[in-house]
Homo-oligomer: A and B are copies of this chain.
Amino acid sequence: MDIATIAGLIAGSLVVGSAILMGGDVGTFINIPSIFIVIGGGFSATIIRFPLKNVFQALALGGKVAFSHKSAEPKDMIDNIAELATTVRRDGPLALDNLEIDDDLLKKGTQFVADGYEPEFIQELLELERDQYLERLDEAQRIYKAIGDAAPAFGMIGTIVGLVQMLSNMEDPSTIGPAMAVALLTTLYGALIANLVALPIADKLSTKGKIVEVAHTLTIDGVMQLSAGKNPNLIREMLSAYLPEKVRAQMIAAEASAVTT
């Protein structure tokens, strides 16, 4: 689980929720037709913009990626691949066939190596897999952004509909206040969906995309070296270029002191 996404959503809901609770009457803030107009309207505008099936795929993928925290540390991934390289050196590539591997792309890659595919084919297949995944992440980000644009627009539309209804029917002054309160709810829902959910998740997807790109490229590089039967230490050395700078700084410092002492 990605604590930050969930913590943010829960904290934001709590903050707004407690502000509502302190006003006493929670029921005032729940209005099914208002929820319907904002979510339904925002969704309608989004499926005109994007192909229908992409919208559902993207919503699911985006949700999964934003909330999950699967992307392992590059350091662990390198260790993992170096270990596999040791196995290959000891027992041959066929030994990769019956291994438990968490990472989907690495699993697919080692399977290809175990199956004895040509390196070029393996590389092309894995890169296609990575590019498709990144493309889907990118589309998910654009779709969440489109929702973040459409929700406040339909929030405003809902509020105007409510105001028109209230204004054209003002015989009983005591109903004016509550009617306006209901009219404002769609604006509130639209602002919450956009600012607490859709736009932050769109930003998160863009951040995750960059992390995934590095991780997948590292994995593909590692698999190619596995398939070439490279030495585990050499693999470790070559893949260290993917490490964040801090870790590399420590490694360089260690080497430097090793050289000079």
Contact = CB atoms under 8 A, between A and B. Distances in A.
B187 A128 contact: no
A55 B158 CA distance: 31
Given A118-B259, A184-B167, A12 B40 contact: yes
A220 interface: no
* Chain A interface mostly: helix
A122 to B, nearest CB: 8
Contact of A167 (B16, B178, B196): B178
Given A37-B19, A40-B15, A118-B260, A191 B157 contact: yes
Interface residues of A, number: 98
Contacts of A252: 121, 124-125, 128
A176 B180 CA distance: 14
Given A256-B118, A259-B118, A19 B47 contact: no
Given A41-B196, A49-B203, A201-B48, A260 B184 contact: no
Contact of A195 (B12, B33, B66, B157): B157
A82 B229 CA distance: 42
Given A52-B4, A124-B252, A160 B177 contact: no
Interface in A143-165: 146, 150, 153-154, 156-158, 160-165
Interface of A: 3-5, 7-9, 11-12, 14-16, 18-20, 22-25, 28-29, 33, 36-37, 40-41, 43-52, 55, 66, 115-118, 121, 124-125, 128-129, 131-132, 135, 146, 150, 153-154, 156-158, 160-170, 174, 177-178, 180-181, 184-185, 187-188, 191-192, 194-196, 199-201, 203-204, 207, 245-246, 248-249, 252-253, 255-257, 259-260
Nearest to A192: B157
Contact of A7 (B47, B158, B161, B162): B47
Contacts of A117: 256-257, 260
B245 A204 contact: no
A201 B255 CA distance: 39
A124 B256 CA distance: 11
